Amino acid sequence: ICGSDLHSYLEGAFVAPGQVMGHEFSGKIVEMGKEVQGVKIGDRVTVMPLTICGRCPRCLEGSSHLCEIGLAESVAYGLPGAFAEFVRVPNVILGSNLFKIPDNVDDAAAALVEPLAVALHAAKMSAPGPSDTCVVLGLGSIGLNTVQMLKALGAGRVIGIDISPVRLKLAAQLGADITINGREVDALEAVTEITGPGAYGVGARADIVIEASGVGALLNQAVSMTRAGGKLRIAALYEGDVMVPANQIVQKEMSVSGTFAYRGEFAQVLSLLASGRIQAAPVITHTFALDDIEQAFRTQLDKDVSIKVQVAP
Ligand SMILES: [Zn+2]
Ligand SMILES: [Zn+2]
């Protein structure tokens, strides 16, 4: 269950009534179209759920995750999703929207390739270097996975911030060098202590800040944590409009960008999993049968007990 599924579940966001959700999944091929090549019945696979047109300007420049035409017909967004016994994947192209799972990667881990690709994309969009101090705000599954990916990409120092001791502990286990409990201390002050104050004593001076909490007040703090010329990447969705200190963005000439979905990161995630460089198992806290999906959603909503809840049809 994805964080965005919770917005759909609670507010009807992103999907129309009657939509079968579920866009993070793995499974076995039981039937296939005549023209599908490179796979056979029984193969274990995971799916990139976005449907792309391949012809619009965004697709042609290689940013098919921003396709201007196809996305409305994606698996779980328009087409039926994977909270089901079977799911149909249209226009299968091996290596594009279908990926074979290496033998040493289990089904549960393979179902996390999609959110891991989101995290890898967010980490790549911030291009961390060995001398960079990176801050990840919000250690839900995207935040935790972003911590892993930043380290895998060679980030110098990663600071994880959350209010849940369980998540902070897990962040440390997954490679965070420093963790900060935002309930116990002021997160901006704590980061400032680590990085030193920003120019003219304003805010902190982190090289890279990734906002993964979806809390407006934290996006605000994220701007203040970023150094002059630094990078702020926004990997969360927010309930309403958010106010940010725009003058700081201008005066620090910060680079601010959203990071959405993935841009061909699936194969790299699978090889990172197969090599053991990143882990999927630690974030999976619960697994429910398909019949108990209501309970699965309620468990995913309880941030104090769950990180990633899976459904096993
Ligand atoms: Zn998702
Ligand atoms: Zn397109």
Residues 6+ apart with CB under 8 A from 254: 223, 226, 228, 229, 230, 231, 232, 248
If you measure from the C-alpha of residue 29 to the centroid of ligand 2, how many angstroms do you get, rounded to a whole number? Answer: 27
CA of 5 to the centre of ligand 2 (A): 24
Residue 112 Cα to ligand 1 middle (Å): 9
- Vertex 61, ends 58 and 63: CA angle to 5°? 55
Cα separation, 16 vs 78, in Å, equals: 8
The bridge status of strand 226-234 relative to strand 206-211 is parallel
ipTM, 2 dp = 0.94
Query: pLDDT truncated to tens, each residue of the chain (313 aa)?
Result: 999 999 999 989 999 999 999 999 999 999 999 999 999 999 999 999 999 898 999 999 999 999 998 788 999 999 999 999 999 999 999 999 999 999 999 999 999 999 999 999 999 999 999 999 999 999 999 999 999 999 999 999 999 999 999 999 999 999 999 999 999 999 999 999 999 999 989 999 999 999 999 999 999 999 999 999 999 999 998 988 999 999 999 999 999 999 999 999 999 999 999 999 999 999 999 999 999 999 999 999 998 889 999 999 8
C-alpha of residue 303 to centroid of ligand 1, in Å: 16
Distance, CA 180 to ligand 1 centroid (Å)?
26
Q: Cα separation of 165 and 171, whole Å?
A: 10
Judged by DSSP in three states, 103 sits in: coil
Average pLDDT of the chain? Answer: 96
C-alpha distances out from residue 58 to 10, 61, 62, 70, 73, Å: 31, 5, 6, 11, 17
Q: Where are the alpha helices (DSSP H) in 153-277?
A: 165-173, 187-195, 216-225, 246-251, 266-275
Q: Residue 24: which of 299, 303, 261 has the closest Cα?
A: 261
What pLDDT is recorded for position 37?
96
Other Cβ atoms less than 10 A from the Cβ of 258: the count is 12
How far apart, in whole angstroms, are the C-alpha atoms of residue 255 and residue 265? 22
Q: Choose among 202, 201, 224, 198: nearest CA to 211.
A: 224
How far away, in angstroms, is 197 Cα from ligand 1 center?
35
CA distance 230 to 224: 11
**pLDDT given at position 70:** 79
How many whole angstroms from 6 Cα to the centroid of ligand 1?
10
Q: Which residues of 169-201 are buried (b: 16+ CB within 10 A; e: fewer)?
A: ebbeebbbbbbbebeeeebbebbbebbeebeee
What is the rounded CA–CA span in Å between residue 83 and residue 312? Answer: 9
Place of tokens 């934290």: 218
* C-alpha distances in Å from residue 12, one per residue of 17, 71, 82: 7, 18, 18
Look up residue 160 and give its amino acid: G
- Separation of 199 CA from ligand 1 center, angstroms? 37
Domains of the chain plus CATH, in order, are 3-112+280-312 (3.90.180.10), 117-258 (3.40.50.720)
Q: Is 180 helix (H, G, I), strand (E, B) or coil?
A: strand
For residue 143, what pLDDT is reported? 97
